[in-house]
Structure 1
Amino acid sequence: MAILESFIDKLGSVESFDRLNDVIVGLRDVLETEHVIYHWVNSTGEHCAALTYSEEWTTRYLTQDYARLDPVVQACLRQFNPVDWKRLDWSGRSVRAFVDEAVDAGVGNQGYSIPIRGPSGQFALFTVSSRDDDAAWSRFTEARARELILISHFINQKALELERGSDTLKVVSLSPRETDALTLLALGHSRAQAAESLSISEHTLRVYIEGARMKLAAMNTTHAVARALNQGLLIV
């Protein structure tokens, strides 16, 4: 977690979006990946990005509205869990043409994207990409997945602070059992597995999950996990 601790220290001193972009560039260099990208859309539809893509590719992506066919964006809009690019469906002529253009622009052939849901309808996406082969990329994601999830939410929290001028999120306090239950779900455990790990019944587990959901004002369990992660209530 040395990278995470160092990154949090640097993020704490960020006072502008330009400076946030500098920190993103530094993170790319430390992780030794091809690119690091943070992009978000707030409740009014305004966009903000801190990224290491070339200006040419960024402009091309936006002007061509590639988000409408980008399998990564479409997958992240539908789910809360991280998305490994190589597990997506890249078939289809238009998608293949988009991929070829992205690779030519230096985006990389591997990627790991983390969708983030914030307050008031905010949606953000944190991505790292690489030119690694499959074996090297699998080793990277297995070793760094938890760290990347935490980093993504710390970045999103900083972006929210910069937009508002201060951190005004209501502090939510979860009980130890509520925290344990959501943490296990965030790690990918099923409800049965989580209940077994906590040595409780699935009925009791549901009580803890429902309590956390209500405190977080979440629509469902997945939303509760996402909100708890975004507010730094879980360590995964």
Structure 2
Amino acid sequence: MARKLDDMLERLGKTTSLCDLQKTVFDLRDAYEVEHLVYHSVKSSGAQWAALTYAPEWVDTYVAENFQTIDPVVLSCFRGFRPIDWKTLDWSGRPARTLLGEGLANGLGNQGVSLPIRGPSGQFALFTVNHKTGDDSWGRFIRQNMHDLLLAAHYINERALALEGEGHVPHQSLSPRETDALTLLAAGRSRAQAAERLKISEHTLRVYIESARFKLGALNTTHAVASALSRGLIGL
């Protein structure tokens, strides 16, 4: 795992307030040298909290114009689970074009990727990375950093919920093999590499991963790794 992600995870683990978490989001933006980074959480009760680097003027405009109701990024992420590259969305309608034009005028970059996160009790969050660059450069950035960004997104969500007193209920203990499997994946190993290191088949590895995911209440493998890291169940 990249040193900058190690540093970020360590810093996140030391946050004791939402103010600290907000500062960490700015630090993460600077570490990855991108224009903007956003974490926005909405609970089933409607309560919201965000840590973001957008200009306050743009945030005020977005809220005042109720842009979330027509934002292709929000609508697409709310319907699915996979990361959404903004360039793959339909911006042809007038409301979407207006939103995009005003965003660019207020300092947004032309590239973006947003990761939907679903937490306990109907909580929904978005983690967004935004930048000004060409398509080729952006493609390289995403290929090189998507694993880090997925882990960061879920880790920040876990930390925000914990600081608000709404983290997951106590979990069952992970077995030694489940711990080993998640540790290797967190270190950037592929499933094939992890299975080879543990001297087991990929099928057996999958059983351990799925068992750990169930115990942690995670939606997917990346979420399980982030949850295990945030709770100190695995280390790097």
User: For the superposition of Structure 1 and Structure 2, which TM-score range results when normalised by the shorter chain?
Assistant: 0.7 to 0.9
**Equivalent residue letter for 1:24:** V
User: Conserved in 2, the CA contact under 8 Å of 1:117 and 1:226?
Assistant: no
| CA separation of 1:64 and 1:172: change in aligned 2, threshold 3 A | farther
Match for residue 197 of structure 2?
none
**Equivalent residue letter for 1:60:** T
Match for residue 55 of structure 2?
54
**Equivalent residue letter for 1:52:** T
Deviation at 1:228, TM superposition (A): 2.9
User: Conserved in 1, the CA contact under 8 Å of 2:86 and 2:111?
Assistant: yes
Cα distance in 2 for partners of 1:212, 1:226 equals 11
SS in 2 for 1:164: coil
| CA separation of 1:27 and 1:130: change in aligned 2, threshold 3 A | same
1:182-216, Cα deviation, whole Å (9 max, x unpaired): x7xxx9x9xxxxxxx9555xxx9998888677656
| Coordinate RMSD, CA, aligned | 3.1
Is residue 2:73 matched to residue 1:72? yes
- Equivalences for residues 170-185 of structure 1 within 5 A: 170-172=170-172, 176=177
TM-score by length of 2: 0.78
| CA separation of 1:211 and 1:47: change in aligned 2, threshold 3 A | same
User: Conserved in 1, the CA contact under 8 Å of 2:209 and 2:221?
Assistant: no
User: Conserved in 2, the CA contact under 8 Å of 1:35 and 1:128?
Assistant: yes
Question: How high is the sequence identity, in percent, across the aligned residues?
Answer: 44
**Equivalent residue letter for 1:146:** H
Is residue 2:89 matched to residue 1:88? yes
Cα distance in 1 for partners of 2:8, 2:224 equals 21
Cα distance in 1 for partners of 2:170, 2:211 equals 17
Match for residue 196 of structure 2?
none
Match for residue 231 of structure 1?
227
Deviation at 1:231, TM superposition (A): 2.4
Which segments of 5 or more consecutive residues in structure 2 lack a partner in the other structure?
Answer: 192-199
User: Conserved in 1, the CA contact under 8 Å of 2:171 and 2:215?
Assistant: no
User: Conserved in 2, the CA contact under 8 Å of 1:216 and 1:224?
Assistant: no
* Residues paired across the two proteins, number: 215
Cα distance in 1 for partners of 2:158, 2:209 equals 24
Which segments of 5 or more consecutive residues in structure 1 lack a partner in the other structure?
Answer: 190-196
TM-score by length of 1: 0.78
Deviation at 1:168, TM superposition (A): 5.0
Deviation at 1:137, TM superposition (A): 0.3
Deviation at 1:10, TM superposition (A): 1.4
Cα distance in 2 for partners of 1:3, 1:205 equals 28
| CA separation of 1:210 and 1:51: change in aligned 2, threshold 3 A | closer
User: Conserved in 1, the CA contact under 8 Å of 2:73 and 2:114?
Assistant: yes
| CA separation of 1:5 and 1:216: change in aligned 2, threshold 3 A | closer
Match for residue 117 of structure 1?
118
Deviation at 1:155, TM superposition (A): 0.6
Cα distance in 2 for partners of 1:36, 1:70 equals 17
Cα distance in 2 for partners of 1:209, 1:33 equals 32
